[in-house]
Structure 1
Amino acid sequence: MQITLARRVLRSTVLALGVAALAGCSMFSSKNERYDPAPLTEYAAGVSANVAWSASIGSGGGYGFIPVLVGDAVYAAAPNGAVSKVELASGRVQWRGDAKTNLTAGVGSDGNITAVAAADGTVVAFDDTGAEKWRAKATSAVNIPPAVGAGVVVVRSSDYRIQAFDEASGEPRWNIQRPGPALALKTNMQMVILDGLVISGLPNGKLMAINAANGSVQWEGTVSVSQGATDLERISDVVGTPQMQGPLLCGVTYQGRMVCFDVSQGGRPIWEQNFSSNTGMTTDTQQAYAADQRDVARALALADGHEVWKQEALRNRRLSSPAVVPQAVAFGDFEGYVHFLSRTDGKLLGRVQVGGDAITSPLLATNRGVLVQTGNGNLVLVGVN
């Protein structure tokens, strides 16, 4: 009992420290210049970026809060319990909901139901007028946004259990659990629902595909295997959002690897590269993009995983998970800047400051630019030309 409690306390401690300590902002950073954020440098402008609109969606921000785009509407939530639907074109708030509790994760939405979660495992669902539809209870705290679609609302709780609730009623549908490590990162992770399958990364370095209707596991693949002598060294969580490009399903871990599997060949891995990311990856049809744990931005070819380019000008700037727009690949940083890099060679093309302290939420690509959820509860659209 005491051992179990001690491990839970240790896990909570690392979760509270989050990625900040693991990403190079170490307790020794003031004594070692290699951990200092790189200063902003001059560059030849290749894109024009400007704030198209900004909308207040609540108070606060942080890991676990990721906006969702459905059609021409953006759904977002904030830690103070505010939930909003915002018009992408104008930034006009179409409705506001109130979860009546502090939140730890949000949102998931399919345009009909929008779901958020609280630290005690409460899951709150809203209809598309912003009215509360139902409440349910997960088995423990939820720090990852719910996934909504295929008739279910799916959450992953801190006891490594994935649970589904009926989208219409909130009644439990199924749940599965996998053994988890003693320690796990506190960073952005996200499940997705595609073609009736729930795709989720796990803290044990695996990707999993689950039948959304009945909870049966259809496939599991190993992105990386834990290594090291201590619990801290063995952290190898799948971070960010699993990426699908055609038949490829790709994922990346902290202290591990980036791997792409071919789902048309039974999920066979087609390439893998050693990689350590704090925040996750994104892809276009040709390349995968991610910042490593020292915030060196990199592009890898989807065909075989070879490195196409790397950009060190943003080292230690605590980069967010990136977004790809036609003109560039974008990363947010700890000072509220959004940086635009060439997809071809990684050169700096532009930057804009959106405010709101550190950008910890993943950037979201849209057909109107890049959406940024800031640390002070604003949703900002950055137009790019």
Structure 2
Amino acid sequence: MPLGNLRRALIALTVLPGIWLAGCSSTEPFEEPAPVPDVVGDAQLKPVWRMSVGDGHDGQLLHIQPALLGDVLYAASADGELVSVDPDTGDLNWERDLDREIMAGVGGDRKRLYLVSSDAQLLSFAREDGEPGWEVSLPNEVLAPPQSNGSLVVAQTIDGKVLAFDVETGDKRWQYEAAVPVLTLRGTATPLVGSEMTLVSFANGQLFGLSSESGQPLWQYAVGEPKGRTELERLVDVTAQPIVIETVALVVGYQGNLAAVDIRNGQEIWSRRMSSLRSPAIAYSNILVTESNGTITAIDGASRQVAWSQEQLAWRQPTAPLVLEDHLLVGDFEGYLHALSLEDGALAGQLKLDSEGLRVPMIRWKDRALVYTNGGRLAAIELIVRGSAPTAAPPRERPSR
């Protein structure tokens, strides 16, 4: 399938984590990160509104990310604050103190929100007001947000179990288990739950298409094959949710490949060697990847050759990329938000948001980026090219609780 017109066909479904081994508590990168680059470009990043959501990730290596469902933004913190926010204004619709620690979320569907607590309880809440609903026990920790197709909600544990529950009752519908290596990266790809098929990825480098009805495997595809003599060399975790374009899934793995896979049968369409922990993005027929070494690379969708590469963010653990106007946004572990030109990858703008860093994927809302920092700062960011628009007004801010 030619990928020259991917931008028009894109269904953007993004996600996850950082370069950490399971069990490690350090928040320092393995390699010496590049210094904060000097930026002399013409792009200004301006907060339109911002607010605090509890303690954010509370200093832990978590991936609690907000969810945009319809025209409402939901966010949660590790210390149990859950909020519903108007993404246009930053005004609160409601907030709840859950009085329990949260490890994963937010997922949702038309009626409910889903979180996972630190004691491995899958929790449901009413979208309308945050009223608690059913909860069920899971067999192990969950780092990725549960996902729902409106009929069932799917959660994936860190030890390779995928469990589906009825959204109305919380009754277990099915369970699938994959063998995972002893040594893995601390991160799990967010399941992608469709009406007929659920896409799940594992630390063994495999992407599976499971029947959403029964949980039975329909096909599997090896994103990466373990190679080398040491356990570190053999890491092939897939921690990034695929992007689906019509009947094609774009998937990338750590020390594996960037590949296009036919989701009807799991057959490879093409692949090229690449290592990444984040979901790619699509713009102007390019596939945009934040590589595991911090390099931002644009791959031409037709030729699969490198269109441009930006190395000034090396080892700064850039987040999943987000396309905004004619720029690409990525955050880093020191809390900087960077704007890159989509034309050639040149750094065009920069904004410091939170010294605790950025980790979870950003969300596109109209002409803004919705950003949630590790320290719990939730903000809407506007990109202004100098000379094209007046300077934005000072951001609206709600004080911390």
Contact 2:209/2:266 (CA < 8 Å) preserved in 1? no
Q: 32, 35, 39: which is aligned to 1:38?
A: 35
TM-score by length of 1: 0.88
Conservation of the 8 A alpha-carbon contact between 1:56 and 1:379: yes
Q: What TM-score results when the alignment is normalised by the length of structure 2?
A: 0.85
SS at match of 1:239: coil
Could you tell me which residue of structure 2 aligns to residue 345 of structure 1? 344
Of 190-199 and 110-119, more deviation after overlay is shown by 190-199
User: AA paired with 1:59?
Assistant: D
Q: Aligned ranges for residues 10-49 of structure 1 at < 5 Å? A: 14-17=21-24, 25-26=29-30, 35-45=32-42, 47-49=43-45
Match of 2:111 in 1: 112
CA distance in 2 between partners of 1:151 and 1:286 (Å): 34
* Residues in 2 aligned to 1:162 and 1:134: alpha-carbon distance in whole angstroms: 19
- Secondary structure of the structure 1 residue equivalent to 2:22: helix
| Paired residue type of 1:163 | L
Alignment of 1:79-118 (within 5 A): 79-118=78-117
Shift in alpha-carbon separation, 1:89–1:124, aligned structure 2, 3 A: same
Instruction: Kindly indicate whether the alpha-carbon contact (under 8 Å) linking 2:194 and 2:212 is maintained by their aligned counterparts in 1.
Output: no
Residues 169 and 94 of structure 1: CA distance in aligned 2, closer, same or farther (over 3 Å) = same
How far off is 1:300 after superposition? Answer: 1.2
Instruction: Report % sequence identity.
Output: 25
Count residues in correspondence: 361
What does 1:205-284 correspond to in 2, within 5 Å?
A: 205-263=205-263, 266-284=265-283
Structure 1 residue 107, shift from structure 2 partner: 0.9
CA displacement, residues 19-60 of structure 1 (integer Å, 9 cap, x when unaligned) = 956xxx33xx5xxxxx23233213221x33200111222213
Structure 1 contact 295–316 (Cα < 8 Å) conserved: yes
Deviation at 1:356, TM superposition (A): 4.8
Counterpart of 2:211 in structure 1: which amino acid?
N
Q: Counterpart of 2:369?
A: 370
The answer to which of 367-376 and 195-204 deviates more is 195-204
Distance verdict in 2 for CA 1:328–1:49, change over 3 Å: same
Structure 2 runs not aligned, ≥5 long? 1-19, 385-401
| CA distance 1:219–1:302, shift in 2 (3 Å) | farther
State the shift of 1:127 in Å. 0.7
User: Which residue of the partner structure matches residue 137 of structure 2?
Assistant: 137
Show the counterpart of 1:71: 70
The reply on whether 1:53 has 2:49 as its aligned counterpart is yes
Q: What letter is aligned with 1:223? A: V
Report the 3-state secondary structure (helix = DSSP H, G, I; strand = E; otherwise coil) of the residue aligned with 2:233. Answer: coil
Distance 2:287 2:41 in 1: 24
Greater RCO, 1 or 2 (C-alpha within 8 Å, sep 6+): 2
Structure 2 letter corresponding to 1:60: G
Counterpart for residue 391 of structure 2: none
Question: Counterpart of 2:334?
Answer: 335
Where structure 1 has 5 or more consecutive residues not aligned to the other structure, the ranges are: 1-12, 30-34
CA shift for structure 1 position 18: 6.6
The structure whose residues are more often helix, as a share, is 1
Give the secondary structure class of the aligned counterpart of 1:338: strand
Separation (CA, whole Å) in 1 of partners of 2:51 and 2:218 = 40
TM-superposed deviation, 1:304: 4.1
Q: 1:380: which partner in 2? A: 379
Structure 2 SS opposite 1:324? strand
The alpha-carbon deviation at position 75 of structure 1 amounts to 1.6
Change (3 A) 1:224 1:19: farther
After superposing on structure 2, the runs of 4+ consecutive aligned residues of structure 1 that deviate more than 4 Å are: 18-21
SS at match of 2:24: helix
Q: Deviations over 1:338-377 (max 9, x none)?
A: 1111222111121222225210111222213111111111
How far did residue 169 of structure 1 move? 1.1
2:153/2:164 contact within 8 Å kept: yes
Q: Which residue of 1 aligns with 2:148?
A: 148
After superposition, the Cα gap between the structure-2 partners of 1:148 and 1:18, relative to the gap in structure 1 and judged at 3 Å, is farther
- Are the aligned partners of 2:81 and 2:98 in contact in 1 as well (CA < 8 Å)? yes
The DSSP-based 3-state class of the residue aligned with 1:130 is: coil
Q: 1:188 to 1:384 in 2, by over 3 A?
A: farther
Q: Please state whether the residue corresponding to 1:360 is helix, strand or coil.
A: coil
Worse-matched range after superposition: 250-259 or 184-193: 184-193
Map 1:151-162 → 2, pairs under 5 A:
151-162=151-162
